[in-house]
């Protein structure tokens, strides 16, 4: 390589060095600068959206709207009652079992899968109780048998 370099005229060496420097700069710009600028623009957009959200929240508060999360049920029996009521409204036949002070299990037979998933989401978001486990087994005509357990978050 050194002999090849030495065979080049000084003007060629200068041009090759300039090309190498430009190539290195182009790689740095593409690998570092462009992604950094893109992420900066995304962050600026997120900041602007957050600021607009805060302004909307402040306007709602000025109108007297109270922004609170639904209260957590006082005990597992309240969770069971409310979840069973929502299941009935969704057309599900619920069989709730309070297995302990800290675990609640629901069993559904021949239920529509969409109704089961919608009910799970309603319980999780409405009562603040996450699912510990869910087991769905195919039944007849596109229906499922399901067992859903909630655990570890209920007040004793």
- Second-level CATH architecture of 76-151: 2-Layer Sandwich (3.30)
Q: Kindly give, in sequence order, each residue whose CB lies less than 8 Å from that of residue 106, ignoring residues fewer than 6 positions away.
A: 83, 84, 87, 94, 95, 96, 97, 146, 147, 148, 149
Asked if 119 and 111 count as a contact pair (C-beta separation under 8 A), the reply is no
Q: What is the pLDDT of residue 3?
A: 92
Q: What is the pLDDT of residue 156?
A: 46
Tens-binned pLDDT, residue by residue, of the chain (156 aa): 889 999 999 999 999 999 999 999 999 989 988 899 899 998 998 999 999 988 888 888 888 766 655 555 557 778 888 888 999 998 898 878 877 666 788 999 889 998 999 998 888 888 877 788 899 999 888 899 999 988 755 544
């Amino acid at each position: 390589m050194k002999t090849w370099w030495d065979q080049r005229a000084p003007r060629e060496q200068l041009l090759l060095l300039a090309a190498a420097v430009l190539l290195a700069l182009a790689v740095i710009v593409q690998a570092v600068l462009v992604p950094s600028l893109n992420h900066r623009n995304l962050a600026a957009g997120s900041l602007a959206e957050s600021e607009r959200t805060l302004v909307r929240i402040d306007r709602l508060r000025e109108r007297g709207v109270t922004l609170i999360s639904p209260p957590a049920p006082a005990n597992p029996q309240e969770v069971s009652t409310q979840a069973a009521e929502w299941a009935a409204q969704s057309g599900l036949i619920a069989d709730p079992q309070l297995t302990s002070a800290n675990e609640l299990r629901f069993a559904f037979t021949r239920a529509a899968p969409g109704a089961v998933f919608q009910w799970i989401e309603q319980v999780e978001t409405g009562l603040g109780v996450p699912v510990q486990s869910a087991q769905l087994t195919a039944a007849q005509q596109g229906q499922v048998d399901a067992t859903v357990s909630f655990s570890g978050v209920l007040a004793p």
